[in-house]
Amino acid sequence: MKANPIYHIPVLLKESIDGLKIRPNGIYVDATFGGGGHSKAILECLNEEGRLFGFDHDEDAEKNSFSDPRFTFVRSNFRFLSNFMDWYKIKRIDGLLADLGVSSHHFDDESRGFSFRSKVDLDMRMNRRAGINAVDILYTFSEKDLADIFFYYGEMRNSKAIAKAIVTNREQKKIITSQDFLEILRPFLHREKEKKQLAQAFQALRMATNKESEALKELLTQATGLLKPGGRLVVISYQSLEDRLVKNFFRTGNFEGIVEKDFYGNLKSPFQVINMKVIVPQPEEIKRNPRSGSAKLRIVEKNGIREN
């Protein structure tokens, strides 16, 4: 049961496992298996009656799976959580952990096209068996749709200008590699913010390729229905859009953050927020793993009388 230490270093490991408040005989889901670091820690808290399901739609993550009678690896996007829980005849779960974002492996593996430092074809699909890739998006999406991608997913103020440049360039020259994309972006970059702006642009294209925001909404909605009263959701996010979706949903039960109250003025939400102040990595962890620097951990517990 040995996870690959190179694939991905689990972020906020102790804090997220503590946040799950694991019951030894409970049923848990690691929605983002990756290198298996979080899953391994969860299994260490379970007895022989406990069960853990690890979801990941990346073929490389499946290679990190381990043999344990309490563990089941599910080769699928976590947006199909309910379908697979039904398949495995699981009616309720005691907790779910999701470590969002991209594994270190994906940035380090140049063939995947996630990094602006590589010189390979832009693919960016987490699951290379399905869906359109980043090149398809750059070639087929309208100027407005492209502008929306860079504005909403990358929070780039010059998104309209970037979208127009992509449409103009694709009529004259093929946009296939990360370097082709970088050359289009270059006129819109400020020297002192170049790396940050490139990261924002590549992040936006990756999120659109994998429909990450839509998948996150589906996961949280389905997990709420599956979670037992007293069960917990633990989510680690790395960028503001995802964190805002998680924060709103955890506090209000909807993604818009609209506060609804009952007749007596009490907040209507399926959850009790465990940490009102977001949990972030300590300086020691950031030093060991610089990619953890933007991580934000949020924890909620489902309202109701806890089941035995």
**Is the distance from CB of 63 to CB of 41 less than 8 angstroms?**
no
Angle between helices 178-185 and 159-170 (to 10 degrees): 130
Do the domain assignments include residue 36?
yes
| Residues 175, 178, 183, 184, Cα dihedral to 10° | 50
Contacts of residue 165, Cβ cutoff 8 Å, sequence gap at least 6: 184, 187, 188
Q: Mean pLDDT across the stretch 91-120?
A: 71
CATH number of the structural domain spanning residue 185: 1.10.150.170
pLDDT at 152: 94
Residue 127 clears pLDDT 90, i.e. is over it: no
Please tell me whether residues 72 and 217 are part of one structural domain. yes
* Domain end among 185, 210, 235: 210
Give the residue ranges of DSSP H helices in 114-176.
Answer: 134-140, 143-148, 159-170
- Other CB atoms within a 10 A radius of the CB of residue 287 amount to 11
Do the domain assignments include residue 3?
no
Residues of 230-245 as b/e, b for ≥16 C-beta within 10 angstroms? bbbbbbbbbbebbbeb
Residue 265: pLDDT band (50, 70, 90) is confident
CATH number of the structural domain spanning residue 71: 3.40.50.150
Residue 217 clears pLDDT 80, i.e. is over it: yes
* Domain end among 210, 234, 251: 210
Do the domain assignments include residue 307?
no
Please tell me whether residues 24 and 159 are part of one structural domain. no
The DSSP secondary-structure symbol of 285 reads: H
Number of domains in the chain: 2
Q: What is the domain range of residue 73?
A: 13-104+212-302
Could you tell me the pTM of the whole model? 0.89
Total residues belonging to the chain: 308
- The residue type found at 224 is T
Please tell me whether residues 115 and 235 are part of one structural domain. no
Residue 235 clears pLDDT 90, i.e. is over it: yes
The helix or strand, by DSSP H or E, that contains position 41, with its residue range, turns out to be helix 37-43
* Domain end among 210, 237, 268: 210
Share of the chain above pLDDT 70, in %: 91
Please tell me whether residues 179 and 117 are part of one structural domain. yes
